[in-house]
Structure 1
Amino acid sequence: MTDDLWSYGTLCGHVAGTDLTGWRVEASDGHVGEVDEHSDETGDAYLVLDAGAWIFGKLLIPASAVARVDARESTVHLGLSREQVEDAPQFLSDKDLADPQYREDVVAYYYRTGGPCPDRSDTV
């Protein structure tokens, strides 16, 4: 198991180069939004989740929170509950990506929730 928050699990089904924009995002206990943007960059992979009316904002989700990618259904499944997603630090703009304090806050939050996704297939 890797403890790198910013990498997809090796067996989660994510294929580098796949455009996830617009894909449905499901928490472990229900729908949370859709992918607004994403990065496949090695060591800095993430999703920007548009939670729409549910949270009224966007959230930065490290790639390690992805439990499974279902290409047939264009759906990303997270190893997080809706409550964990809702409590995550809000993503305000692309400037946040370069803000070291924001990134530290995101890392601290996800490690408080258990670190890399415990449901990822590469943790078996």
Structure 2
Amino acid sequence: MALHKISDFDTDYHNTIQGKDIKGMGVYSRSSDEKIGTVSDILVDDQGQFRYLLVDLGFWIFGKKVLLPLGRAQVDSIEERVYTALTKKQAEDLPEFKDDTVLDYDYEERVRGVYRTPLEASAPLGGVGRTTPTYDRNTYNYSQDADLYDTSVQDDTTIRLYEERLVANKQRRKAGEVAIGKHVETETARVAVPIEKERVVIERVTPADAGRVVTGDATAFREGEIAHVDIYEEVPDIRKEAVVREEVRVRKVVDHETVEATETIRREELDIDTDGRTVVNKQDRI
């Protein structure tokens, strides 16, 4: 059965398929959540059934492209991711896909041989209750490897349960501004300064020897005799000088408080309808 790239099979496949286009989605390891590659194309059979994802393993093995059977891929359309249990060893063992690769039965068998379970690949002939499956190119049908191509028979399905949570962050914003400056005020100041002034006091008194006769040479009759007396007085000397009156120190302090916020959050819970069947926990198969 021939294989075709989806764009060659249906040039208008974007409008034909339902849901999001898988091409371009990242491919992640189911066990480690590590990105291992990218879906570069999709391969379909003659009836248009999805059979393989063409994965570019650039994150694991640079430049190598391999086929991933659809049954071994799990598409998460919300996260736009493809999950797989492909191991690094399987990626190395898978035949490389190139543009000139012939997608015939022999090439597909090499691919399927890597993905088939160890029991199918190595169980000895004649084992008790076990036989090695045989495949014939003339009669082979994809249903013979249902676990590789049929997504309805996958052993496990992952359902992600989401919940909302409150994320508290802080943002620093300007709450106001304080401007501090100076201005000049004027007032009339009064100061009292005691001063001294000299004045002349003239007293005319009768000496104790008044009337006594004096000699002629002792007589001093002179015209124009003048006595000079200097008179002083104090005057106020008023001037202004600037002095430091006080200091104003400006600083900031941080006040701490707790702000509480209330918000309604949602959480998903798992609903299980067993319909009378027993639920058994299973581990992911690698």
For the aligned pair, the TM-score class normalised by the smaller chain equals 0.5 to 0.7
Residue 53 of structure 1: how far off its partner (Å): 5.3
TM-score for the superposition, normalised by structure 2: 0.32
Which residue number in structure 1 is paired with residue 35 of structure 2?
31
The gaps in structure 1 that reach 5 residues or longer are 1-15
Could you say which structure has the larger radius of gyration?
Answer: 2
2: distance between equivalents of 1:90 and 1:59? 5
Matched residue, 2:68? 61
Correspondence 1:61-100 to 2 at 5 A: 61-66=68-73, 68-93=74-99, 95-97=101-103, 99-100=104-105
Distance 1:52 1:63, change over 3 A: same
> What is the RMSD computed on CA atoms of the aligned residues?
2.9
Aligned position for 1:105: 110
Single out whichever of 32-41 and 83-92 deviates more from structure 2.
83-92
Taking CA–CA contacts closer than 8 Å with sequence separation of 6 or more, which of the two structures ends up with the larger relative contact order?
A: 1
SS at match of 1:96: coil
Which ranges of 4 or more aligned residues in structure 1 deviate by more than 4 Å? 112-115
Offset at 1:111? 0.7
Secondary structure at the residue paired with 1:83?
A: helix
Shift of 1:82: 3.4
| The structure with more helix, counted as a fraction of residues | 1
**Count of aligned pairs between the two proteins:** 105
More strand by share: 1
The gaps in structure 2 that reach 5 residues or longer are: 1-15, 120-144, 149-153, 158-281
> Judging changes above 3 Å, is the alpha-carbon distance between structure 1 residues 53 and 80 closer, same or farther for their aligned structure 2 residues?
closer
Separation (CA, whole Å) in 1 of partners of 2:102 and 2:156: 26
Describe the SS at the equivalent of 1:90: coil
